[in-house]
Structure formats: structure tokens, C-alpha cells
Chains A and B, each alone.
Chain A
Amino acid sequence: MNTLDDWPRVKAILEAALERDGADREAYLAEACGTDVVLRARIDRLLASAPRVGTFLETPAALILEPAVFGDLSGRAVDSYRLVSRVGAGAMGEVYLAHDTKLDRPVALKFLSPAFAADHDRLRRFHHEARTASSLNHPHIVVVHDFGELDGRPYIVTEFIEGETLRHRLQQGPLPERDVVEIGAQIAGALAAAHARGLVHRDIKPENIMLRPDGYVKVLDFGLAKLGAATRSPGQADAEARTQPGTVLGTPRYMSPEQARGLDLDARSDVWSLGVVLYEMATGRLPFAEDGALIAFDSGLRPELLEIICRALETIRELRYPGGAELAADLKDVQRQTASRGAGTSRGPGRRAWAALLAIALAAGVLALLLRNTRVTGPSGVQKSVAVLPFDNVSGDPSLDHLRLALADEVATALNWSPSLAVRPLATSRKFGGGGNPQQAGRDLRVGNVVTGHFSLHQSELRVTVEAVDVDGNRLLWRDAITGHRDDSIALRDRLTSRIRDGLLPALGTASARAGDDRPWNAEAYALYLKSFALSTDPVPNREAISILERASTIDPHQADPWVVLARRYYDDGHYGGGGSNALRKSETAARQALAIDPNRTAATVRLFSLQVEAGRLQDGYDNALKLVQQRPESGEAHYALSYVLRYGGLLEESTRECEHAVSRDPANPMFRSCVQPLMLLGRHDRALDFVRLDGDSEWARTLTRVVYQRMGRRDDARVQHDQMTPAYFRGLAPDSYYGLMTRCLAGAAPARQGQVTDEDVKVFLSAREDPEPLYFWAGDLVYCGYTAPAVALLRESVRRNYCAVAAIEIDPLFAPIRNSAEYGELLAAARACRNRFHEHVRASQNTTPVR
């Protein structure tokens, strides 16, 4: 009979009996067991031990541990190996220098944790994988000789490599770039061979890289990480079952994002880990903090290397190198360049000097030549930025004023053919120009280069002068002039765009990646298109511009330009001109038309993307953002788009990574300020404020600063930010009551004194904006001010509109009060479901998107 049968009942009777003694206990037992003599016998037997259990188990289990099992085993023979000395110990086990007495050679014998012995299947698979890697006979993969077990501890015997680990080397500081590339190429080569056989290392880190004195690099421990994943503790089957396959132990610092999430891994995970190692070798620091935040790329790295590291560290693995082979190829290219560049001088210029030389070469437009000769695909990890200012009309003829913006727009469109340029939208630069100082405008707009120009009229001949200025150097980079008949604007345009592609783009140190669409324009349509630029984006002129552009696109429906501009104008009408969802639908149609004509119109993709995300169509938005990044991996704005949709989808870590990618490529783009949101929600307040500063001291920046301060508990500072604002700023952006409410609340008035937030007010908040993100913002403010119920209503609606606000429920400190509310469970479930749907889509598209 099983002694645990019916245990709850037996236990209960025992407990009650132990509280009694003598006759009392006997009476109790007689009643509790009744006629069940078997039960009574069991109870009696157990109770009979009571006087004897005494100290049984009372002294905590101390350990008797013997050196034979747990100590230094030097001197001991293990099978045919004599352990000579212990040379290392780590989380995965201990390593001995041993002598192989059969073959009379030194070997390394590594003991694994005894915990690994428990799962024989896993251990066998590890043996298989380690043998397979070894059998590749690759010069940079360590050779495995044997496996065995001593006292229950599995061990592995490999060739003994004299030298030091990369970790050891790194303790002396960063490595020269030559060594970084050299070592990196060898590791990548080892990975390439393994990847070709379908093997993934899973634990590339400096501890697993051996450096021999002769410069040879050896990669250790293939397959071991997978074995480590099998470490299980008894009784934890439930917890284990919930974790994803491939969860890996070891340091998270080198883990790819998919590995940290426990997803299935492939070669691209190793690419990421090697990217981290490369960065650490080059700078002596890790690119990511332990919490996954990017620390910031060191601009002291040479661009080719930085570009390689950036590509290895793409969060979305489709954008990374597909495997070791491709990474090795690029590293070898850099190696060859280093060799050929260094040939002329006995000592090559130092790292900083190279960067300076390169900068000069860029400015002088020499790089275009260099690029052609050396087959470098990306010029630099950092995008060059340029703003086009409105042209000056010096013709004295006001009827030509529309050309001020129209010409600037043509220039901006032509510049956009280069994927490595970050071209600031005209909307942000239109307030500049008009005889202003281009250098100052460039500083205000935080761009490296400014393009501007003017036009004059000589009888009927229009003369257009265009010039590009290097903002920091205050130097003229390029100037050109074209002429044409004032009525033949199409010929003027063609001349202008060809000069820009052939002259200005190389002068900016970049080249046109492809020819633009050269479909001939209908003259009347083009004239209308140009005319539309005379009209501002204020609601009434914007409507007029729309009707002009609609005519242009009817006459000449096969030009992408009018559709792109229409998409933008419909969008403005929908959001700020009262056009509502009807205008937004038209905006989407126009964007799709533009893309049907020319799929590379990124402005249209961006428009489509914004519409989709704001309408809660996160999956479509994600697909488009991914497309943007694939089209333009160097573009900061493309990465920003990805960060944007990831943040709506509640994947905040991933979102901040993309933000860091964006800002590392385009370091001063004010648009990136909204990265504050994910950083702030993750509690990285200082970094969040860095992003706010991208937008200088604008009103919106003050609002963002305030909400960060609120979450930092800096109420007084938050109030100062708010008090500096113009009340009118929120008009059209937030309900009228919002500003006053925040003023009273930050001034410290108790909710009762602040005034009621009525159901009517809540309705106003709910309908103020189509975009669900502001609802989250306002909900946070409302809770902060003590209005929990209205906040919950806003939050619920934002989740309903697919803003996956899990952060509000789980981590955002402002929302702590609602965690006690009755709606908590329901909100949590809804937000999680929202995020999970999005996450599923992200994961699915990562698995189906073909590798480039």
C-alpha cells in the first residue's frame, strides 16, 4: 500500500492528534477513524514514531564535500588523462591542462556542471554537435578529442590551446582596429563554416575565444550553450514547460534580442553576439547596458567598421548579416583596405587621424571616387543630414513666389534619391530662408549641410542658382546655375534635377543609388503642381491646394509627385483642417497611388505608415516600417518609423533599440524626440531627456519634459516646464480644459479644488484625437492629478484603439493607483492581448521574411 494514499485526510487526523495527548487523543482518534481499522493502523504507526523523531531532520543539511569531487583535481588520473593543473573555472565548469597518456600530447579537459549529467539525451546531442563542429576541421574551431564522465561530472577533452582568452586580453583595454578586424574576421570565418552546416554556436563571447600567441584565433564550446539550456531542477517541470525552447543561460550581454526572448535561433543570433564582441574589442566597452539600452556608438570608430557593427547589431534580424560568411566577407574587405592604405607609409595614421582625413575627403567630394574604387557599400554609419531652404525670389515678380517652395521641393525630392542622406522635410525648414543666414538656419535645424538658392528673371529667361553649404565649416561645397524660359518649367526642372544628381550629390559625399523616375510630365499638370506650393498648410489654403493638386493628378495621373503631396495635404486636412476620417482615407489612397507608380517613394510609405499606426492598424504599419528599413537601412527615419510602431505595439525594449539606431545614424533629427515615450516608460529618464533635447526648447519639448519629470517625482520641475508654455499651444491638440487642469493640478490644488472631470469632459478627451497615444498621455496626467476613473476610461479606449498600453498597467509609475482599481484585471488582459497579437505578427513576419 502506498503510504501517501488519502494523504490529506491522514495528515489532518495526524495534526489534530498531535495537538492532543492521553485519553483526549485516544477519544479523538476513535471518532476520527471510526470503523476504518486500516486507517487507524496507519495513524498509529506514524504516531508511534513521534517520540523518536526528536532531532530527525532538525539540524539543517550541512554539506559533506570532498576534494575528490569538488576540489582541485590536479594530479589525478581520469581515464587515460593525467590532470596537470587547473587553468580556469567558470559558470560552465572547470578546465584543466591534462596530459593524454595514450597519445602523449597536452589536452584541455573541461568538467561540466554535474547538473548537465541528468539529461542524457541532451548530453548526447551536445556530444554530437560538438563533434560535428570539430569535424569541420576549421582552423579557427577548437578540435574535440573525447568525452567522458568522472564522479557524475561530464567532461569534454579538446586540443590544448596555448594563449589567453579574449576576455583576458580585453582586461588590458581596447584593441587596435587592425586586431579587431583580424580577430573578428577569424571568428566570423569559424562561424561561417559552422553556419554552413546548420550549427549555431549560441554563446559567442570573449570567454569563448582563445587567442594564440601566433595570432591564431580559436572558437570554443560549440553546442555547449544548448546543453546549458537543459539545466533543470527537479520539481520545476511546470515553470520549465512555460519557457520557450532555446532559452540559454550565460551572460545576457552578448545575447541577441531573439535569444533573450527565448525564440528559436539561427545563424543571425551568432552574428549579433559577434557584433557585440567586435564593438567591445574596438572600444573596450559594451554597446548595450545590462538592461538592453544602447549606450551610444563611439564615433571614433572608422566608418567601415562602425557600419559593419551596426549591421550586425540590427534588432530585426532580417536586417543583419544572414550569417558568419557575409560578416567575414565585409571584415576581410576592411582588412584589405587597411593593407592597401597602409602600404604607402611605414606607419598608418592613427584612428582619429583617419577619421579626420575621411571627413576632409567627404567634404571635398573625393569619397565618391573612393567609393567606386573600393566597393564600399555604405559610406558611414552616420547619415549625412541636409535641409533645403526655400529659395529667394530676386526677380521682383511676385507671381513667381510659388517657385520659392516648389524649387526647394524639387531639390529635396532629387536629394532623396540618395539613401544615405537624411533630408529634412520642407515643412520644418520653410520658416527659414528669405535672405536669412544659411549657416544659422543649418544650426537651428541641426543639419550638417544646407541647400539654398535664388532665382532671377532676365526678360523671359529664368535663372536659378543653387548652392550647398557645409554648416560647421561654413564653406561653400557646391554651386551651379541653370537657365530656361520662364514658361518652360518642365525643362527647367529636368535640368535642375540632373545637376543635383550629377553634381550636388557627389559634392555632399554621396551618390544617387538609382535613377529617379523620368516619366515626362504633362505641362499643364506640372504648372498646377508648382502652383500648389504657393499655398500654405493652414486649413483654407490647404483645401485650395488640394483642389489644384486633384486637377493636376486628373490630367496626369501617372506622376507620383502630385500624389505624394496630396497624401500629405489630405493628412493635414484630416488632422488639423476638419477633414476628419474622410480626408485621412483619401490620404491613404493618394499614398497608395504614389507607391503604385514608384514603390521607392519613401515619403509615401512613411505617410501610409503613419496613417496605419494612428488608426491602430499596427500590423500593416509594422510591415511598412520593416519595408522602409529594408529599403534604407542607413536611414535614421526608417529606424524611427520602426521604433514608432513597436512602441504602439507595446514592445518597448525593441522600440528603444530602434530609437538608438535612428539617432546613431541621424544624430540631430528633432522628429526622434517622441522616443521619449518608450524610454520614459522603461524608467530610463535621463536617456529620455536626451531625446527631448533633440527638439531644442519647443513647446512640445516642454510638454515631454514635464511628463518625464512627473514620472521622476520632480513635481516642482514639472510645474516650471508647464508654466513656461503658451496656453494656446494645445489648441486643436488637446481638449480646451486640459491646459487649465494641468496648471491647477501642478500648482498643488487638491482634486476637489481643481474642479470636476465630468463624463462630458471624458467624452471630449476621447474624441479629441484619432491617434490613441495622446489618450495614454492624458490618462497618465489625469491619474497624476487624482482623477482615476476618467483616466481608466481613457486608457481603456486607447487600448481599444490598439495602443498596447501594457506599460501603464505593469511599469508606468503614474498608473500605480489604477492597479488597485476594479478594472485592473480587465485592462491588463486587454492590453496584453493587444501586445500579444502584435508580437505574434512581428514574430511571424520575422520567420517568414526571406533572408536577404
Chain B
Amino acid sequence: MVGPEGNRNVVTAADLSARSLGIRIGMPATQAQALVAELVVQEADPDGDSASLDRLAVWALRYSPVAAADPPDGLVLDTTGADHLHGGEEAMLADISGRLAAAGVRARLAISDTWGASYALARVSADERAIVPAGRTAEVLAGVPISALRLDPNTIADLRKLGFDQIRDLEATSRAPLTLRFGPLVCRRLDQAFGRAAEPIEPVRPPDVVEVRRVFAEPIAAPETIHRYLGKLVGQLCAALEERGLGARRMDLLFGRVDDEVQAVRVGTSTATRDVKRLTRLLGDKIETVEPGFGIETMRLAATLAEPLHPKQTISSLTEEPDADVAGLIDVLANRVGEDRVYRYAAVASDVPERAVARVAAAALASDDEWPAGWPRPARLLQPPEAIETLALLPDHPPVSFTWRGIRRRVKRADGPERVFGEWWKADPELVAVRDYFRVEDDAGERFWIFRAGDGENAATGSQRWYLHGIFA
């Protein structure tokens, strides 16, 4: 990438292979072209860059309701209270970088207490994904070079000349001469990096999002008051959604505090809805997590994910009563235990027991597929199957006795075998794999589902070992 700087063209960005050939950012374009014969040079497009960075920031809203572009080349997210939705901080970073990599973007990520520290670490850390535990920002920052302080290059160069190299050098000097020489920005950046000065993030709003807001003349703090205004906001939002024929799937409620901090609450619903009572209930459950501090000045409620929702005629039948709607309950539970922990099981056409069930969203439409009824299936399925010691006649007799979890059981009655063949279209080893399932009952009347891996004759079909896979009632 080449762009004008002053009255000459310089290199503004270079990819990995160009950098390995010795091209540096800031180098005159003519020099770079002289250095590498077949250099692909493109005009820099700062406006296009910042527009696409904004789009990326809107994408990042999926991770946290407070996300913003940090030009020229960064994104900043306030993930406080949002990381657990993605399985913790590490899992979230892995997910972000994985998704970006899939889109062809190489990213360096860092999580720390402050924007400034995260900015610095994302750029200088040896690790591509750096996480600083809460409260340890100061010690990590001390050894970071001053170039990561978000100051303009001239200031950095001047500071270098004066012998400042790392942040700890700047921290150790008195501030008055620094401010006199370089202006107030140096000390402010230091304070912001160490968390001594607040630095609110102005979150991006995705375009054409349905949003309602309320500004308070006097800051509010009491949960009851918040609740009352929440009800009003939800009412307004639902009216706005109705005008456009939309229903909310995900809502963000942002609280602007008097000290410029932004607190956020996010809820999701299983189906598109604009039911005031239901949405108020969902948001109301989360209000206790909000820290009002010295008071809340603004409340902003946005339906960040909305889907078309058209009025439907309810079934009116003289004979059939419609089933009660449980979508509200599903939402309450999903926001409590996590969205993927509330589900239904659906039938999958597979003879391998552990593959015969699939989890589907609780609100998904019911399918007509059912499991074949003729074959008895256990109430509990052990996952993975547990190895047992058996005494059995080969090839097709059930065991005479077996030992499971240290207890030996004599088999009184048995049914089987039910032969399950491997699914050759899934993996090569399954081409000849076989399991023989037996339903056995011991002396005391306990019934188990056991299988032998292999057909009892041919060693290629399995290990011929026995496993306990399920417990019948």
C-alpha cells in the first residue's frame, strides 16, 4: 500500500511477504520499488479502510454490546460481563481470532483492565492473544515501549531522543516538565493506560437498528425507578417494532452513567417477539447486575437483532385447544443457564445409538421423524460406553456373567444380538465395524444394554471387547 505523505509517496502498509523482503512502513515508494522488482503496489484508501473498520466494529457487536472502531487499525470492545456468553475470555479470544482468520484477517488480541493497556499489549505482546488478569495491568505495562502509548510519531521520536524508552521510564519522571514540553496528552495517555483516568468507549450502533432512548433530568439509581422506566422503554420499542413489522431476537440495554461509564445488559429470545410483558421480564431479571454508581443519566434500548414478525391468526377450533405458548419460559431459562443448555432432542436417521439423537433449539419446529419403535432403548445412556469384563460364548451368545464397576452380575435372561453396522460413509474404519447389542437382565432384575465391539469371529470388525452402554428401567 502506498499513500501520499507531504509531497512524496511512502509505503503505508505491507503484507508479511513484503516485509520479509525488507520493505518497511514509512519507506519512500520509489525505494521500495527499487528494492523489489515485481512489487505489487496499490493506492492506499484511508476512507475505505475506516468504512470497513466500522463494518467490522458492527460485526464485533456479537461479542459485546459496547464495541467501537479504534482507527486506523484497531477495534475496541468492552467485554465486561459478556465473556461468559462465549465460554470465558480465552475461548472468546480464540473464537474471535478464528472467525477473523476464516475471513482472511490476521488479528492480534489482548484483554486487560483498560483500553490503553489492551491497545499496547495487542501491538507489542509476543503472544497473539494476550490476557492480563484483573489488577495486574500496572506491572505488565511497565516494560512496554512508549511507542504503544497512542501518541503521534513525532512525540515518540522526541521522547526517545530524551532517553525515554519504556513506560516505566515515563512513570518515574516528574510530570510538570513533560507536560510543559509535550502538552497534556502524554500524561493523559499514561493515566488512561493505568486506569487512573476514565476513557469511555462510544459504541457503534449498527445502521437502521430500532432504538429508543430516554434522558433523565436527574440521574436515577434505585432499581425500582430503573424498572419503571424500563417498562416504558420496552413499550416504546415494541411500538416502533410493530410499525416496521419486526420482532426482537436480541436486545441491548445501555445505561449511560454520570461518570461517562456505559453499563450494558443483553438478552436474547428464542423466537422473534414484541410482547412487552415478556421482554420487560427478561430485561428486568438482569437489572440487578447493573451498577448504577453515582446515577444513570441515559437509558438506551435497542433491538440489535430483529426479524420480520407478522400478525398471525390464532387457531380457533371448536374441538382442539391449542398448546400453550412456552417461548417466554424458554427465554427466561435460556438467559439463566445459557442458550445452548435449553434444547429438545430430535431423531436422526442413524442406527448407532449415540448418533441417533441430536440437540435442536427448544423453539425449533417439531419434525415428524421419530425413532423406530420396535427396538427397546435404555432410559440412561452411558457416554462413553464403559468397558466390562465378561464370560461369553462366541460368536453369538450373550455373556453368562459380567463385571461392571467392580460388581459381578450373573446374567439370568438375555435378548439379542441386535447388530449395528458402522457408517462407512462417515469414516473409513467404520467400513467393516460392527457392534452386537444384547439386552441382559441380572439376578436382581436390573436390566442393561451391553455390546461387543466386533462380530465375534472376524478381528477386523472390532476389538471383540465388551462394553456397557445403557441402563434399562
Answer yes or no: do A and B interact: no
Chain B interface residues toward A at CB < 8 A:
none
Chain A residues proximal to chain B, CB less than 8 Å: none
